Amino acid sequence: MISLIDTLKSFVDGAPVKKEDDTKLTIKKVSKHHETSFTERVTSMIEKGESKTARSAYTVVAVIMAVIIIACLIYTVSFLPHFGGADNPANSSEVVKAYIENGIHDTGATNFVAGMILNYRAFDTLGESSVLFIAATTVIILLFRHKTKEEEKIATVEEEVYEDKHDVILRHGALILVPVTLMFGVYVLFNGHLSPGGGFSGGTILGAALILYNLAFGDKSTQKFFNYNINKVVKISALTFYALSQSYMFFTGANRLPIPDINGVAGSLISSGFILPLNIGVGFEVACTMFGFYSLFDREEI
């Protein structure tokens, strides 16, 4: 058993395999081949050009596979109904018909896509938000690293020394762009049920604005209003709020709150029941996740 592990080790790490004679007078190397490690052997093989045939064969096979898959996909596309045709299967389905005819009355959303994904199919969106949450958690588990005190000291000294390391043009550009981007993100987020947009896109725009601010003004000024704890609290409360209101909708069988009946009117911000708060919840979740991704990728903390 041990000898097997040793052999494997020598194969990978390149430790020479030795075998002692019965007399223990001479140490004999059995296999010269394993003196160099596995990676070294592969590198030398590549350098010598021994693997050239294998490489070209790989390329050829990859291209052939890609062409076959593309051909299959294009063949399938030829069976799809014409875009926007009147007799498409989507138009003859009973469910789709009911959704399209009663959608605005039921959900109150002028933007029917929002009504679909946050009312009829709201559980799918809950799943998507949970996937984002899980992804962010995994990235935190993999990349988050508490800095030691020495590293923190070095970071603060560097911050003081290279205070103007952030580009002047970037700073002045960000000064103009960040408020506009934030405003646009909030607009897209709040008008998700009235105009194109919604939680995911609005949240991503908010996250992009945060990232631009961080790039231009550094970590310290970002930490003043957005740190790990705030990120954690906002994300968990947004997801919990979504899940709770969604279960309320689901279990009471109601798809609207007792609110004034101004549903389906363009420009009425407070309408269409739960869709606006759900959009806001999703938006905060997405914004925190995006900024968290960026921050963890960049400096391994939030």
Partner 1 sequence: MIYIQYILVIFLVICAISVCVTKNLLVSLIIFTAYSLVMSVIWLFIESPDLAITEAAVGAGITSILFFITLVKVDKMDEGEAKDD
Contacting positions for partner 1 (CB under 8 A)? 83, 111, 113-114, 188, 196-198, 200-201, 204-205, 207-208, 211, 290, 293-294, 297-298
Give the span between the Cα atoms of 271 and 273, in whole angstroms. 6
Nearer to partner 1, 122 or 211 (CB): 211
Nearer to partner 1, 51 or 204 (CB): 204
Reference 259, options 272, 268, 247, 246; nearest CA is: 272
Give the span between the Cα atoms of 260 and 211, in whole angstroms. 39
Residue 2 structure tokens:
């041990």
Min separation Cβ 110 and partner 1, Å: 13
Burial (Cβ within 10 Å: 0-12, 13-18, ≥19) of residue 62: exposed
| 159 to 156, 165, 214, 296: CA distances (angstroms) | 5, 9, 14, 19
| Residue position matching structure tokens 């679909």 | 116
Min separation Cβ 213 and partner 1, Å: 13
Min separation Cβ 197 and partner 1, Å: 6
Nearer to partner 1, 108 or 207 (CB): 207
Min separation Cβ 297 and partner 1, Å: 5
Helix (H, G, I), strand (E, B) or coil at 27: strand
Burial (Cβ within 10 Å: 0-12, 13-18, ≥19) of residue 289: buried
User: 5-11 contacts: CB < 8 A, separation 24 or more?
Assistant: 10/34, 11/38
Nearer to partner 1, 276 or 290 (CB): 290
Nearer to partner 1, 188 or 238 (CB): 188
Give the span between the Cα atoms of 116 and 122, in whole angstroms. 8
Phi-psi region of 14 (alpha: psi -120 to 50; beta: other; left: phi over 0): left
Min separation Cβ 207 and partner 1, Å: 7
Min separation Cβ 292 and partner 1, Å: 11
- 209 Cβ contact list (under 8 Å, min separation 6): 177, 178, 181, 182, 185
Nearer to partner 1, 17 or 209 (CB): 209
Min separation Cβ 221 and partner 1, Å: 19
Min separation Cβ 261 and partner 1, Å: 26
Nearer to partner 1, 112 or 241 (CB): 112
Are 236 and 134 a contacting pair, CB within 8 Å?
A: no
Nearer to partner 1, 103 or 197 (CB): 197
